[in-house]
Amino acid sequence: MNIKRYLVTLISILVLTTAFGTALASPDINANKENVKEGHAITTAAETVDLEKAKDLMDNIDLHLPTLLPDNFKQESVIYNEPPAIIRNSLHNFDEDSVKEVTIRYRDQKDPTKWIDYTTKKMEIELVDKNVQQIEINGVQGQYLESKEKGIRVYNWFSNGASHFVVAKYGIEESQILNFINSIK
């Protein structure tokens, strides 16, 4: 039982590192889209895809998208990640579909330093930082974390068999971020 708990904790930490790594390692301005193709975090198959291909690759869940974007924001890129080979090769009975993820980057067209990354996957994610606050998001229990040193806000919730993870750069009005989040149904 302790080994199972250890493995679940290890996988959760790797998943969180991947999500934060995708958001934080991405360049602020993605003029050279070739940079996104290489994983900057613990991933083996990060690749830029179009939205339709992402839906096909994530056939294990319904890919929910926001219907409200902050003013001047536009979808910039869609990044698909698979679990690292080290995990796939070392764990028996590992459900690879549970850690496949899609991250969609939205960027302010007037101020390219402002962006929102929305990641979704089947595996339930739990933030473990000591400063995490419990909040309600879309009618379910969720989590909120503000990282002043990294200049981001993080929102996390699990609903309808999928984790939803939003990382937003400082400078975007919180009401616009919440409208974005609440429009993901």
Interval 35-49: pLDDT, tens: 333 334 444 557 889
**3-state SS, residue 17:** helix
112 vs 99: CA distance, rounded Å: 30
pLDDT for res 94: 59
Among 23-27, 31-35, 178-182, name the most confident range: 178-182
pLDDT for res 47: 83
**Which residue in this structure is represented by tokens 């028996």?**
92
What tens digit of pLDDT does each residue of 101-157 get?
Answer: 899 999 999 999 999 999 999 888 889 889 999 999 989 999 999 999 999 999 999
Cα 120 off chain centre by? 6
162 vs 181: CA distance, rounded Å: 14
Cβ atoms of 22 and 81 within 8 Å: the answer is: yes
Structure tokens at 73: 């924001």
User: Minimal CA–CA distance to 61: which of 179, 171, 162, 180?
Assistant: 162
Q: Examine the pLDDT at 2 and tell me if it is beyond 70.
A: no
**Which residue in this structure is represented by tokens 């975090």?**
41
Q: How many CA atoms lie within 13 A of 134 on its CB side?
A: 2
pTM above 0.85, yes or no: no
Cβ atoms of 11 and 95 within 8 Å: the answer is: no
